[in-house]
Copies of this chain bind each other. A is one copy, B any other.
């Protein structure tokens, strides 16, 4: 951490400040005097130094971190990729490509079982589906809730596909015990109380990026879960909010290689929510795989116009089949080159 002091700082103030830094945080302090300012450099573990506290000092002009503020999620300290086994056949982060497919909302047993069979046939290895739905409007369909979870499990029994579904509340954690991957939605990425509780269980977590979260904030939210002891975190890029209104969000495809460099955690990409338009799912899925994603999460609905949520971005099973074929062909080509 580098601290630039104000011109006006007196020698006594600087000495007191240096003394405090060394004693409160156990860090070493280097100092040099420029013409317009004095600069301090902290040596040692600065993860616990509160940058806002430093920034608040009267004599401080500005502060800059050199070390990243996350540790467990940081590739520097864990050079090997995190590999997360889901069941006997599915492992995420080992260089293979997995597609999680299914409807935005679970609607009926018939629906979810049929979709599960269809997407499995096309190569999907996990089933996604919403039981609890975060909706902007209190008047919109909020999901089948616990019944939805039961239906997902029924589809798993039929197909063997592990299931991925979203949690919205701490008190539901018990209910999610038999879910294979628990998803944390974009709107809850900084619901720190939920993250803390998910850190206490031994279950893979799919952490979606917040609507306008920086990559660093996203990694800090992963760190919340990991700090509690749960290392099985996957990060899901689902588009960020920008000024562009043609798409619902803007897929930040750069986030894939950046996460791969900064962290050892797997990256999943959601082209359905990123664009909000079904005809954009294929090109965005292709881009994500070419940029190095470990997996995709794609909305598939047997009857998109009658979907109870997010129909506009859902593929039919047939459309999904085309996309999956192209995506796996691309992955093969990339693996061989």
A-to-B contact residues, CB < 8 Å: 2, 4, 30, 32, 34-37, 39, 41-44, 47-48, 50, 52-53, 55-58, 61-62, 64, 66-67, 69, 134-141, 168-171, 187-188, 190-193, 196, 210-212, 214-217, 220, 223-224, 227-228, 240-247, 250-254, 256-258, 261, 274-275, 279-280, 283-284, 286-292, 304-314, 326, 329-330, 333-334, 337
Contact = CB atoms under 8 A, between A and B. Distances in A.
Contacts of A314: 56
A302 B243 CA distance: 33
A129 to B, nearest CB: 17
A247 B243 contact: no
21 contacts: A2-B4, A47-B139, A52-B309, A53-B309, A56-B304, A56-B305, A135-B192, A169-B170, A170-B170, A188-B191, A214-B244, A242-B250, A242-B252, A247-B254, A250-B252, A251-B252, A254-B284, A287-B287, A326-B337, A329-B337, A333-B334
A39 B66 contact: yes
Given A136-B217, A284-B291, A304-B56, A252 B244 contact: yes
Contacts of A4: 2, 66
Contact of A34 (B32, B66, B224, B250): B66
Given A39-B41, A290-B330, 6 more contacts: A39-B66, A214-B244, A214-B245, A215-B244, A330-B333, A333-B334
A272 to B, nearest CB: 12
Nearest to A133: B192
A274 B337 CA distance: 25
A261 B279 contact: yes
A107 to B, nearest CB: 12
A207 to B, nearest CB: 14
B137 A2 contact: no
A3 to B, nearest CB: 10
Contacts of A250: 240, 242, 250, 252, 254
Interface hub of A44, A135, A170, A286 (most chain B Cβ within 10 A) = A286
Contacts of A140: 50
A198 to B, nearest CB: 12
B312 A134 contact: no
Contacts of A310: 52, 56
Given A30-B32, A139-B47, A192-B135, A53 B311 contact: yes
